[in-house]
Structure 1
Amino acid sequence: MGKLLSSPKLLAIAIGVVAALLISVAGGALGASFGFGWFGGPIPFISLPAERVAYIGSYPLLNTTVMFWFGGLILIFLAWRATRKMSDVPSGLQNLFEVIYEFFGNTVDGVAGGKAKAGRRFLALVSTIFLVVVIINWVGILPGVGSVGRIETIEEWVHHHLPKVEAKVQEKHPEYTPVQTEAAALVHLLEDHGEDTFVAFDGSIVPLGRGEQARVPLNKIITFSESGLHQIEEAIHDGDDLDGLPLLDSIHSDIKKGVVQGEFVYKGQDFKGKTVGLLVPFLRGASTDINTTLAIALVAMFTVQVWGVRALGVRGYGGKFFVNPISQGPIATFVGILEGFGELTRTLSFTFRLFGNMFAGEVLLIAMAFLLPLIGIIPFMGLELFVGLIQGYIFAMLTLVFGVMAVASHGDHDTHAGDH
């Protein structure tokens, strides 16, 4: 403490850090409870599936796909820069890539038996998985990822939710016509989600300071009442003509407009007429999409099977899973079946390990940006960089271990067991 007080520079830094932290607290969701919240914003919509951002022909382009290929292009560019002017005395990117290559070269040789070049068959896939996973994890926390996107309108939101409700209505009332089914589903949707809230936009942006309290409920966007919904249900039940029903036409009109219809005031500002919806980010970390992690896991485990077949032959490798119960005994047969299930469970564990860690990290960053904007998120971004590196290393090492196990014959396992 004495050293801190005696050094003006250290004291100024400490005061600056404390002041920045206090401003961050006051400007976020915590400060909004006391009338501050200058930097606050609504919590972004968190979706397990990746969101569509555009169509390329009939192909739906997902935000996680964009980030996966962006990470791939970065990796290709770095590899090109590292190898375009190679020298005997490496420096810069060439030095970095040679360190990575040498590290994994020694690692695969050590795990595969310790002899020189014993594990070179594994080197290409193991090092590639490490680099790909690390890159797509790291680019997923760049500024703008998850916070810049398009507006999902109320009409789109209804379109996404209505089919599930229609299916339930059709199952309960198979005698309804398509028009009656749609109207009944819309009534149920409004009854169940009338209090759901949406973000109010100024054009296409959300101004700073417009936090969770500024989210507009659905019943302020679509004008309806319980009695009105009950009248629509009675008209459906009585078989009345729904095409000319004023209440239903008004609801459809409000859905299409997608703006605040009722009175909603936040900090003295009337939101009536403002566009409302949900933010669908253009960019989202590729590892937070289970399809990405499943694809990497499938490539890894398929290659593991190829290694096993090439090393032991079809019969030798298949003998690990299909054991003759007469010659080897029923226990060995059961163990072989478990080995087969083990290959499947490894694929699943690969998939969910990476997905779970990175999706949880994304939620953590969203939560901290909501609570402590600007300053509070910085330590957690550093943590995510570390976690992304560790996840890449774990994924690569598990692929290596499974590959070494695949090329080992039953005799090798028995020998190791006897040695122990």
Structure 2
Amino acid sequence: MNLWKLPNISIAPDIIIPGTWITNTLLCTWISIIILLVVFYFGIRRQDLVPSGLQNAIEWVVEFLQNLIEGVAGKEKGKKFFPLVATFFIFILFCNLLDIIPGIDTIGTIDVTSKSVGAVHGPLLWGAASNQLIPWLRPATTDLNLTLAMALVSVVATQIVSFSMLGFKDQISKYLNFKAIKEKGGMGFVDFLVGILEIISEFGRLISFSFRLFGNVFAGSVLLAVFAYLLPVVADIVFIPFELFVAVIQAFVFAFLTLLFMQVGTTSHSHSDENVHEAVHEYEENAATAH
């Protein structure tokens, strides 16, 4: 008989309080929010002129994100994009980092509905019952509901900002460009089809945003769980630093892609055409002067 079995892998989160809608990923989401509130409360409550410790770390992260956002979008747009982009990065990072804390995915209750579970003695599970654990805590970003909700917020917020900055007419022309058909004829129909593809890409962005974050974090969580059973010490030495790297990268990718889409979404097509014409005109003037 095997001493233990590999952990049971479930894509859907488990309900930890029977008769309610509270799942292990939802509980972990609440814990992530509470930790964030506590960290920022103790980090910014004093606001010393010469920061140190936690305040210094928070100011460094905020300054890094601010410089990054303003470097891509400029100061004016950067001020508008900063709250959402920075919130995405910090929240996703904290959710991802919980995956490496001991007890996550490993402490919970036994699935008593399983036929393979008999009498259990002691705090450890052995034999047939070893893979029937329902963990109390599971990283929030391993729940597709959360990643899809954040992707929806990202796409909708991008559209709201784009409509507010460009105006309804200019923004809607990116997707329904009837003017191009009227002015360019057959060639304008190509521009119209490009606009339809832009609408499809908005829905595709929801899928890519949500599944990219969910897939990477969920795969890492499964990897840690499996190797913790196979090679406990090796898993801690090799895969935990790797998971730290993945946690930061995935938070950065989600936030940075949101920033890029917001920047592209608030750039007018007509302004781009004007900039091209101005650049061509300037080049012709410089060439004529040289001759």
TM-score range, shorter chain: 0.7 to 0.9
* Conservation of the 8 A alpha-carbon contact between 2:7 and 2:226: no
Q: State the match for 1:123 in structure 2.
A: 82
Unaligned runs of at least 5 residues, structure 2: 281-291
Quick one: which amino acid aligns to residue 317 of structure 1? Q
Task: Verify: 1:344 aligned to 2:203, yes or no.
Answer: yes
Residue in structure 2 matching 1:47, options 4, 7, 10? 10
2:198 and 2:108 map into 1 onto residues whose CA distance is: 45
- Match of 1:104, SS? helix
- Match of 2:132, SS? strand
Q: State the match for 1:289 in structure 2.
A: 143
1:87-98 equivalence runs, <5 A: 87-98=48-59
2:191 and 2:20 map into 1 onto residues whose CA distance is: 48
Residue in structure 1 matching 2:30, options 69, 74, 77? 69
Quick one: which amino acid aligns to residue 161 of structure 2? W
Task: Verify: 1:413 aligned to 2:269, yes or no.
Answer: no
1:144-183 equivalence runs, <5 A: 144-154=103-113, 157=114
How many residues are paired up?
274
Quick one: which amino acid aligns to residue 310 of structure 1? S
Q: What RMSD over aligned residues (CA atoms) do the two structures have, in Å?
A: 2.3
Identity over aligned pairs, percent: 36
Residue in structure 2 matching 1:393, options 226, 249, 252? 252
State the 1:412 CA deviation: 3.5
Q: Deviations over 1:272-293 (max 9, x none)?
A: xxxx982111111111111111
2:119 and 2:82 map into 1 onto residues whose CA distance is: 50
TM-score scaled by structure 1? 0.61
State the 1:118 CA deviation: 4.0
The structure in which a higher percent of residues are strand is: 1
Q: Deviations over 1:358-380 (max 9, x none)?
A: 01101111121121023433320
TM-score scaled by structure 2? 0.87
Q: State the match for 2:124 in structure 1.
A: 206
Quick one: which amino acid aligns to residue 154 of structure 2? A
Unaligned runs of at least 5 residues, structure 1: 1-31, 34-39, 159-197, 217-275
1:347-366 equivalence runs, <5 A: 347-366=206-225
Q: State the match for 1:246 in structure 2.
A: none
* Conservation of the 8 A alpha-carbon contact between 2:26 and 2:140: yes
1:20-419 equivalence runs, <5 A: 41-55=4-18, 59-113=20-74, 116-154=75-113, 157=114, 198-199=116-117, 202-203=120-121, 205-207=123-125, 210=126, 214-215=127-128, 278-324=132-178, 325-327=181-183, 329-414=188-273
* Conservation of the 8 A alpha-carbon contact between 1:53 and 1:62: yes
2:21 and 2:77 map into 1 onto residues whose CA distance is: 44
Residues 417 and 203 (structure 1), Cα distance of their counterparts in 2 relative to 1, 3 Å cut: farther
1:415 and 1:291 map into 2 onto residues whose CA distance is: 42
- Match of 2:5, SS? coil
State the 1:391 CA deviation: 0.6
Quick one: which amino acid aligns to residue 243 of structure 2? E
Q: Deviations over 1:14-40 (max 9, x none)?
A: xxxxxxxxxxxxxxxxxx99xxxxxx6
The structure in which a higher percent of residues are helix is: 2
